Structure 1
Amino acid sequence: MSRKVALISGASRGIGAATAQSLFNAGWAVSLGMRQPVMPGWAETDTDRVHLFPYDATDKNAADNWAKAASGQFGQIDALIASAGIMIPKTPIEISDAEMTEMLEINVHAPRRLAAACWEALGASGRGRIILLASLSGKRVKSAMAGSYSMSKFAVIGLSHALRQAGFDQGIRCTAVCPGFVATDMAASISDRAPNTMTQPEDLARVIHMLIDLPNEASVAEFAVNCQLEERY
């Protein structure tokens, strides 16, 4: 049986980078979508299992071009992890049309285009996997400043459920992973919480690896994880 192949957007740092390393260490081949592709140090011992692609989430042709390049390199695509995303911390009243459009473009339309581009390949094995990095902000709105971001992440969760419905009979399973504060640059820009008290990217990578490794009969629609206690999501 050939090795499995994962496409990972936002792979240059944070959750995407940690997930890429975790899957690589487990024997996967990985295609890494980065604005400025650089071979990670952890991959230098086996660069044949790493494919780099200059992925720009705002480029409407990037998804198709990336999927074709990865398929050409490895011959298959078994999993898609859409980790790229942005946050513009403004209320729905303050945010401009251009800013809201940019956030929806990167957080929602880009993963939708990636799923469409990888769809045929994901269905070929009968157990394709899609992970969309959503957020607990896509489950509830806890502050006005996070409101616009929450709007985009609510849409990501809707997209995840729609993909789950569309691909279920083909064995494609889609999960929305919904973390709270994660020790990344994004969290550092909006919280004064110490990084060591936040969920670590490496722990989310373990969660993602577990989710894509589950059989079709143990499908998970949403996975919420948080560093702090909440009364409800």
Structure 2
Amino acid sequence: MAACQEQLKDRVVMVSGANRGIGLQVARCFQEAGCCLALGARDIEKLEKSGFTPSDRVLLSSYDALVPGSAEKWLEEIKKHFGRIGILVNNAGVYKKVSPESENEDDLDLMWQVNAKGPWKLTRAALPLLRQDGQGRIVNVLSLSARRVKSEGTTGYGMSKFAAMAHHQGVRLAGWDDGVRAIAVCPGFVATDMAVDVMGSMPDRASSPEAIARWIVNAVTMPNDAVVSELSINPNCEAFC
């Protein structure tokens, strides 16, 4: 961790969905590594109660992927507060059960807006500052559901995450010449509220949010010529297709 702290000291990290689960632990790990934090969440009150105190090194902002202009507004706040960004973590996501036979498309539309278009909007807004950094990093927290559909009820979720993976691959190309590197982190079950939403109870075996966060912090310290573009993290042995 000492090497990570040296490389990450004073870098500005932008994390969406930072008020719980993986996002909260990612924020804590980057703060431990000496980073400045730009944290966004729909539930700003919960974010304020998560142990982060606004300061010259910590900015807490309201961000909602469903609200037009929310990404741009957040970026303007970051520009005013820090004037720069080194790392963007697209973490905010939502799960709803949608099967191939589901007739109500509202939940599918919700996942499309949050899981697919949310990262697209944030990345588009943040890319100019990430290009200026020279070693900008974009971490797209996806899921193994971006690679396979585990059950018919996760079909809609998988559709949104497959789309997010396509976005990730496009972002790798978009920022490459300016030193921007994109990393897709694809966990299996993680011990969060979302896992309970999927399973109805906590899976017998699940990765901890802290473990996923540690992987993310380490991944962004890789040099421009050796970045891992996709990282699958899973406590279970399973087929990918």
User: What is the aligned-residue RMSD (CA, Å)?
Assistant: 1.8
- Alignment-derived partner of residue 174 in structure 2: 166
Structure 2 segments unaligned to the other structure (5+ residues): 1-7
Seen in structure 2, the aligned counterparts of structure 1 residues 95 and 87 have a Cα distance that, compared at 3 Å, is farther
Aligned letter for 1:216?
A: N
Indicate the SS of the match to 1:217: coil
Letter of the 1:10 counterpart: G
The answer on 1:35 being equivalent to 2:34 is: no
Q: Distance in 2 between matches of 1:41 and 1:94?
A: 37
1:181 partner SS: coil
Aligned pair partner of 1:69 in 64, 71, 77: 77
Which residues of 2 match residues 1-233 of structure 1 at below 5 A? 3-37=10-44, 38-44=47-53, 47-191=55-199, 194=202, 197-233=205-241
| Gap change, CA 1:230 and 1:193, over 3 Å in 2 | farther
Asked if the contact 1:21/1:42 (under 8 Å) is kept, the reply is no
Aligned-pair identity (%): 36
SS where residue 146 of structure 1 aligns?
helix
Q: Which residue is 2:5 aligned to?
A: none
Q: What CA distance in whole angstroms lies between the structure 1 residues aligned with 2:240 and 2:114?
A: 28
Q: For 1:34-62, what per-residue CA distance to the aligned partner results, in whole angstroms no more than 9, with x for missing partners? A: 11323355434x83311011111111201
Paired residues in the alignment total: 232
| Structure 1 segments unaligned to the other structure (5+ residues) | none
Q: Secondary structure at the match of 2:152?
A: coil
Q: Which stretch shows the higher mean deviation, 90-99 or 198-207?
A: 90-99
- Say which SS state the counterpart of residue 216 (structure 1) adopts: coil
What is the TM-score normalised by the length of structure 2? 0.91
Can you list the C-alpha shifts for 1:128-155, whole angstroms capped at 9, x where unaligned? 1101111101101121001110011111
Structure 2 letter corresponding to 1:26: A
Range that drifts further, 177-186 or 48-57 = 48-57
Q: Distance in 2 between matches of 1:95 and 1:166?
A: 37
Matched residues in 1 for 2:113 and 2:228: separation? 26
TM-score norm. by structure 1 comes to 0.94
- Counterpart of 2:111, as a letter, is M
- 2:9·2:34 contact (CA, 8 Å) conserved in 1? no
